[in-house]
Chain A
């Protein structure tokens, strides 16, 4: 386990993590990232089932992707929501995801980058 010994150490560690996540040599670089928003609102609408379904189906269909469990985005009216980031592309958020929709997202968007109904546009600015 890493212990951070100074603020400089923290900065180096941050660079290390970023390199691991996004760096050119990293194994994660070329992979699709899927964020399943699993806060209370998301989970209450079935985010856990969607998460399990996606993990299972990606494995079945031989798609190498990273699935990340996060908190909620705040789109309570459209839960469960998931965000898909294809390599070198802007993230796209899908709302009201059920298993049928998740299947469509995998087949059309994750595999081929084809858009499907139910995209939630980013309607905010953020400081990151």
Chain B
């Protein structure tokens, strides 16, 4: 028998280590150590119900265990085989105790649709994909459904584009179908550019066939026989696995001419991008694939009318494609039954920043930010206080404490002044300065702006300068209004999504953390202590014993003083590196 004790950060804060030790002692006290192993596990993803103890192979899970419960668990459950009722989870509906992991499934916050095969199948072996229903949806569509039936299923499922815009996928396909042409194209947008987002990469690396199959289904619907995957060359592993997958699919007759003997032909090629953020915008992406500069053009014409080489083109994101086969196999109603009223299905988020369980998660639309950060994500690192979460990368905005219980979906995020984007979720804690965060994202957009339209090229540069001034203590209150006005103009007048959304981090931090901006411009202080130019290091004379450690470590010799007498820092020389504060053993150096 095994006793598993959760060693995730959430449970560890609630003394799960002490529970582990007590359980071990109890096991030893009963001379059971040869039969019972007590082990520490990773996070169960139900941190609010922790600490969690699971008994295997009985598959019994105990919640909110205290270390005083160790004896009862060992004596009752392990020795007598009786479950400790009071530590079991109760079904909120009928108050019945839930015992096994299967019964507790309803409590699990994550549901994997897009990531269904990631980490499960060998992506370089098409047979494993086929064993997990690969290409079954394509077979079904080609023999049992007309293109219009298929589009109807996708429309009814409520699937919306996962790349950021959230445009209904079925409608996109329908428009591309209606535009008649001798040649059409299906394009997969794998140009994942948001800093911190890597779900598309993981899908392509873990389950490339899901994307190939869905592209073929899309090709059948819009009457295209050619697919193109636009992927950044900086994803070498994803590229290699895609290549292998494409050639295997061709060998097995699942891509190419006359697929599965149905007369339908579809083939896929890879196009490489050089990693420009703007090429995630569909018109810029298409120009880049055509060998032109990666610059967006005005829509209309939409790619569905005149896209790649002027032909009707349907562009969807990797994650959107990965949803298609399960919808075909399980039906539109199944998918529409997951999520919120206007956002269906699940969304993959890449958790990054000051969060314990960094990585990919997939949750039904409508899951709250609190569940994502504090249950699945295991909470904030080092027990710090949550301050904000940035969704949508450099085009999104930040969500704050007041948004923690808002169900996350396309519309709620926009109402909260942010956006879904591709699903990067960067968590910030009390030590992060929001002005610097806004500046960081603008750094990125200024770098990535293609320069075609002036609001984006010049406006963002000026925005960045203003922010830079503020973080250096040179800003005024009037600058805050200037920031807002300029942001609104950039949003209104930019050509493409990059410029239309790049001021979002500024606007949302201004809205949510105005007091922090005000502190920077009036008191010339950075409340989070991040902006170097607004800090000053001092030595408290009473605490200083004159050990000279700080003076010796100072790289610019800004600290002077006699041995065994209080030292002083010369602020005009000090470069605020913090080396002295780290070295001081007497807490004599403070930052203000």
Q: Which A positions have Cβ atoms within 8 angstroms of B?
A: 1-7, 9-11, 13-14, 17-18, 21, 35, 37, 39-41, 43, 68-78, 81, 83, 95, 114-128
**What residue of chain A has the Cβ atom nearest to residue B132's Cβ?**
A128
Binds A, one of B200-208, B220-228, B466-474: B200-208
B486 at the interface (CB under 8 A from A): no
Give complex CA distance A43, B127 in Å: 23
Residues of B contacting A76 with CB < 8 Å? 358-360
Is the beta-carbon distance between A74 and B360 smaller than 8 angstroms? yes
A3 engages B252 (CB within 8 Å):
yes
Closest to A128 in B: B116
Q: How far is the CA of A60 from the CA of B505 in the complex (A)?
A: 56
Are B108 and A125 within 8 A (Cβ)?
Answer: yes
In the complex, how many angstroms separate the beta carbon of B380 from the nearest chain A beta carbon?
13
Q: Are B118 and A71 in contact (CB under 8 A)?
A: yes
12 CB-based A-B contacts, threshold 8 Å: A71-B118, A71-B205, A73-B118, A74-B360, A95-B42, A115-B2, A119-B39, A122-B101, A124-B111, A127-B111, A128-B120, A128-B133
Check B109–A72 contact: CB distance below 8 A: no
CB pair B260 A121 closer than 8 Å = no
- Let me know if B428 is at the binding interface, CB within 8 A: no
- In the assembled complex, the Cα of A125 lies from the Cα of B109 at a distance in Å of 8
Whether B251 pairs with A1 at a CB distance below 8 angstroms is yes
A120 to B6, CA, bound (A): 9
B139 touching A7 by the CB < 8 A rule?
Answer: yes
Beyond the given A7-B262, A41-B359, A119-B39, could you list 16 further A-B residue pairs with CB under 8 A, ordered by the A residue number?
A1-B252, A4-B253, A5-B253, A6-B139, A14-B130, A68-B122, A69-B124, A72-B202, A73-B118, A73-B119, A115-B39, A117-B39, A122-B101, A123-B45, A124-B108, A125-B108
Question: Which A residues are CB-close (under 8 A) to B173?
Answer: none
Q: Is the CB of B205 within 8 A of A118?
A: no
Contact of B45 among A17, A21, A121, A127 (CB under 8 A): A121
Counting chain A CB atoms within 10 Å of each CB, the highest count among B43, B142, B326 belongs to B43
> Do B205 and A40 touch across chains, with their CB atoms under 8 A apart?
yes
Decide if B326 touches A127 in the complex (CB within 8 Å): yes
Chain A positions within 8 Å of B142 at CB level = 7
Interchain CA distance A13-B140 in the complex, whole Å:
15
- Cβ of B110 within 8 Å of any chain A Cβ, yes or no, is yes
Known: A121-B41, A121-B54. A75 touches B108 (CB 8 A): no
Task: Enumerate chain B residues within 8 angstroms of A127, measured Cβ to Cβ.
Answer: 111-113, 116, 326, 330
Residues of A within 8 A of B54 (CB): 121
- Please tell me if the beta carbons of A123 and B105 are within 8 angstroms of each other in the complex: no
Minimum Cβ distance to chain A for residue B301 (Å): 37
Which B residue's beta carbon lies closest to that of A10? B139
* A5: nearest chain-B partner, CB-CB: B261
CB-defined contacts of B207 to chain A, threshold 8 Å = 71
Cβ 8 A contact of A74, one of B109, B115, B135:
B115
Contacts of B2 on A, CB cut-off 8 Å?
A: 114-115
Q: Mark B16-43, 1 if CB is under 8 A from A, else 0.
A: 0000000000000000000001011111
Name the distance in Å between A26's Cβ and chain B's nearest Cβ: 12
A123 & B4 in contact (Cβ 8 Å cutoff)? no
Choose one: A1, A70, A114; the contact of B122 (CB below 8 Å).
Answer: A70
Could you tell me the distance between the alpha carbons of A74 and B111 in the complex, rounded to whole angstroms? 13
Among A21, A41, A95, chain B packs the most CB atoms within 10 A around the CB of A41
A5–B142 CA distance with the chains assembled, in angstroms = 12
CB neighbours (8 Å) of A1 from chain B are 251-252
Shortest beta-carbon distance from B105 to chain A in Å? 6
Residues of B within 8 A of A17 (CB): 127-128, 130-131
CB nearest to B8 among chain A residues: A121
Is the CB–CB distance between A5 and B136 below 8 Å?
A: no
Encode B86-130 as 1/0 by CB contact (under 8 A) with A.
Answer: 000000000000000100010011111101111111111001101
| Interchain CB contact under 8 A, A72 and B119 | yes
A125–B101 Cα distance when bound, in Å, is 11
CB distance from B121 to the nearest CB of A (A): 6
Contact of A123 among B118, B133, B376 (CB under 8 A): B376
Q: Assuming A9-B260, A77-B359, A127-B113, is B131 touching A119 (CB within 8 A)?
A: no
